[in-house]
Structure 1
């Protein structure tokens, strides 16, 4: 009989184990299986970007110094994005739930053994005990086998799906919407990226990083055109954080797109003074400055001296006596300027400065068959876009119809976004479009000509005839 009661006590303990384990377990174990740790996505994105860098290094698109700089930037970004031990929004609720669970566990600890013994004395059968013990052991083994040791990380699309489900359950999680938007960007789904970041902006309209990310998403869906709503968001971000490098970089690009090249040069030189002069970002910015100065009519000798002078200003970047306008004044200067394209913009020429990135030389002409449809004052956008990838241009030059035929150069210095460059894609499509409205977005009645896919590092000049009318 003693053995019998030992078995009874063992089974009661086993029953308590199954009943109390979910109640006394950690809040992390009690979370829904659809709950996703945002660190997983950050790590997955980091691995994907590193793989792309490795491929570019192998194919020769990047040299070792460029690779090392880009890898360091990725590592810094990954460290900044890792949430680690940050508390979750539902932490307070989880704490209260744990307290209630522990109270319930104490009650069960007393009630369940008494109830078990009482029911057995009333209805019990000693022969059933071995069968129950065997069944309980089988269930325990099955539970351990089902849990597995899933050491691998889910695929990115699986993580995105789970994050989408999570955001349906926690629609007020700003960080979640931002992460979802950035992930869509990586997957090159700019439409969904804009929608997700619009949610984040709605929840936190005064966060400068949310404003800038949202501005880039809107621009990505309008051929990387920063005019209109994106420029408004960038200006708001600058008012909140006048020293933000990304905001100032984008404000310079916005001025450049409006044909306000001097304003772009002022903004970018202020940014350049705060960058590591040997970094890839600094090299790209010098090329952009030289391009803007060329368009503004700055003499070549001044263009060559300006980048070197900017490098010596690091120690004076925040000197109150510095005569250069600060970023806040620059933002006001840009926002107060008209949005029309300057009519006295010099004809674009190939960028021949030492800092110019490798690119494509393009000769554009207007077909005589449709020449009468193009007004001399209309704008011509000459662009390169990925043959397979995002639809937004990777590099753009803008001239007037009166300048045709013309030869221009497209290279990485004209990238609308630092992450989307001509050299990032193996094949591109080069085109030219006459816009009577002056807008970057194609419209019915615009005149256009495009090439087929060509290598992005092609040394052969490309010829384009504008001979089509957009329906």
Structure 2
């Protein structure tokens, strides 16, 4: 189960690659400079994540070194691709082939892992600087460009060219990354309306629909889109992965394992994608043997018709779990926080992936405050409070509001709590991150 959490961190990595790649195809030099700035920012975030993984002990030194090497190589590839890109943008199908070769999954809302980055525990090492890309950004005055500024430019570009499919797709995924679910769904719907037959866009739309639904369910229209992709291309790994997630979401763990093991057999056993998938399989296997799981279940992949996928009910526990949390700031630390500082309140599994199962955002001026964490706040279909027996609830004060924890952040956590039993708890923010 330890490796499983890597998927959570990897989702931001993969999704941001998906966001950045279309922009790398633009011809104008000012666009290439903006792309370099965004590439560098993505690289820094990903490197911080790897450093945090190593510090937390979830990655050994060999795996860390291999992942860092791949990260550096990918950045150089992205920058080089942007500098050498021809004026003619490749077709979406070409983009599809590149993406499928680069990543296994584009399946969950980016917001899930962005929040994980905000709540993660490990201390950070200094990020590696890439001289060439950084210099290009500085010379153009873009080194300090924020994601919001880049999004504003993208929105302006889309006003001038509303037929830019990749632009709408990028805007949608970025909106999800910043928690703007409705805007993200609308943008991806726009891309789908422009190219409803493109495999990439069908899957992105399925993902967006699930991310925007209260239950994060892949049933209904998402299942139809996934099935349509498999009807067209039964070998599509992303669609097959998602059918496994449909089974996982329905607690049909044997079907999920069967589907994912077939994909695993096609991957490099030493690659990161295989490690991610092995973690998901291990997670499903730990849940097998529950009353809802049956060896007689048909495999979702290839044998379950769309109507069957849509007709089955979601897990009975969905939406049932909730915890009332009273958050306070210890008086001894009051002088170290400002009223406008951001406070993240979250629940995560006591053992298993550390990405949050539910999260709320407050300000220090709101404290003390009682809030509710429940299944409606789940970031991914399978990661809900009701899916775990024990959770840890915590709160963190971030002066900068940055995605990654910083030295000096104030925080507090409970011990393991039993879901369904410990329904009213208190969290005191009484520690300082070294």
User: Residues 39 and 234 of structure 1: is their aligned pair in 2 closer, same or farther, counting only changes over 3 Å?
Assistant: farther
Out of 205, 221, 225, which is 1:233 matched to? 225
TM-score, length basis structure 1: 0.48
Number of equivalences: 290
Q: Which residue does 1:64 correspond to in 2?
A: 61
Per-residue CA deviation, residues 263-307 of structure 1 (Å, 9 max, x unaligned), is 3232112112123334431331321341453336579xxxxxxxx
Question: Secondary structure of the equivalent of 1:282?
Answer: helix
Name which of 37, 43, 47 aligns with 1:46: 43
8 A Cα contact 1:264 1:292, kept in partner: no
Partner residue of 2:355? 421
SS of structure 2 residue aligned to 1:294: coil
Q: Which has the higher contact order (CA 8 A, sep 6+)?
A: 2
CA distance in 1, matches of 2:204, 2:86: 24
Distance 1:90 1:169, change over 3 A: farther
Match of residue 453 from structure 1:
394
Alignment of 1:47-446 (within 5 A): 47-60=44-57, 62-68=59-65, 70-71=67-68, 79=77, 82-88=81-87, 149-150=139-140, 152-153=142-143, 154-222=145-213, 223-278=215-270, 279=272, 280-291=275-286, 293-295=288-290, 330-333=301-304, 335-337=306-308, 339=310, 341=312, 381-382=320-321, 411-412=352-353, 421-422=355-356
* 1:463 pairs with one of 393, 418, 428: 418
Is 1:177–1:199's contact at 8 Å kept on the other side of the alignment? yes
Whole-angstrom CA distance in 1 between matches of 2:317 and 2:253? 19
Deviation at 1:190, TM superposition (A): 3.0
Distance 1:38 1:168, change over 3 A: farther
Alpha carbons 1:268, 1:289 under 8 Å: kept: no
254 and 465 in structure 1: CA distance in 2 versus 1, 3 angstrom threshold: closer
Distance 2:240 2:46 in 1: 25
**Larger CA Rg, structure 1 vs 2:** 1
Cα distance in 2, alignment partners of residues 72 and 84 from structure 1? 21
The 1:60/1:259 distance shift into structure 2, 3 A limit, reads: closer
Deviations 1:56-110 (A, max 9, x none): 434545443454465466567764795554444699xxxxxxxxxxxxxxxxxxx
Question: Alpha carbons of 1:196 and 1:277: their partners in 2 closer, same or farther (altered >3 Å)?
Answer: same
Aligned residue for 2:268, secondary structure, equals: coil
CA separation of 1:250 and 1:285: change in aligned 2, threshold 3 A: same
SS at match of 2:304: helix
Q: Deviations over 1:390-437 (max 9, x none)?
A: 999977xxxxxxxxxxxxx7633xxxxxxx935999x9x996669xxx
Q: CA RMSD in A?
A: 5.1
Q: Distance in 2 between matches of 1:392 and 1:169?
A: 40
Q: Write the distance in 1 (CA, Å) between the matches of 2:284 and 2:317.
A: 25
Give the Cα separation in 1 of the matches to 2:375 and 2:178: 28
Which range is displaced more, 59-68 or 256-265? 59-68
**Contact map agreement 2:206 2:226 (CA 8 A) in 1:** yes
Q: Is the 8 A contact 2:348 2:355 kept in 1?
A: yes
Report the Cα offset of residue 200 of structure 1. Answer: 1.3
| 2:235 aligned counterpart, secondary structure | coil
8 A Cα contact 1:34 1:166, kept in partner: no
Separation in structure 2 between the aligned mates of residue 161 and residue 257 of structure 1, nearest angstrom: 36
C-alpha separation between the residues in 2 aligned to 1:284 and 1:40? 33
TM-score (norm 2): 0.51
Q: 1:234 touches 1:251 (CA, 8 Å); kept in 2?
A: yes
Unaligned runs of 5+ in 2: 1-26, 91-137, 328-341, 362-370, 385-390, 397-410, 424-434
Residue deviations 1:237-287 (CA, integer Å, cap 9, x gap) = 223332222221111111222343333232112112123334431331321
TM superposition shift of 1:167: 0.8
Output the CA distance in 1 between the equivalents of 2:344 and 2:265: 32
What is the CA-CA distance between 1:161 and the residue it aligns to?
A: 0.8
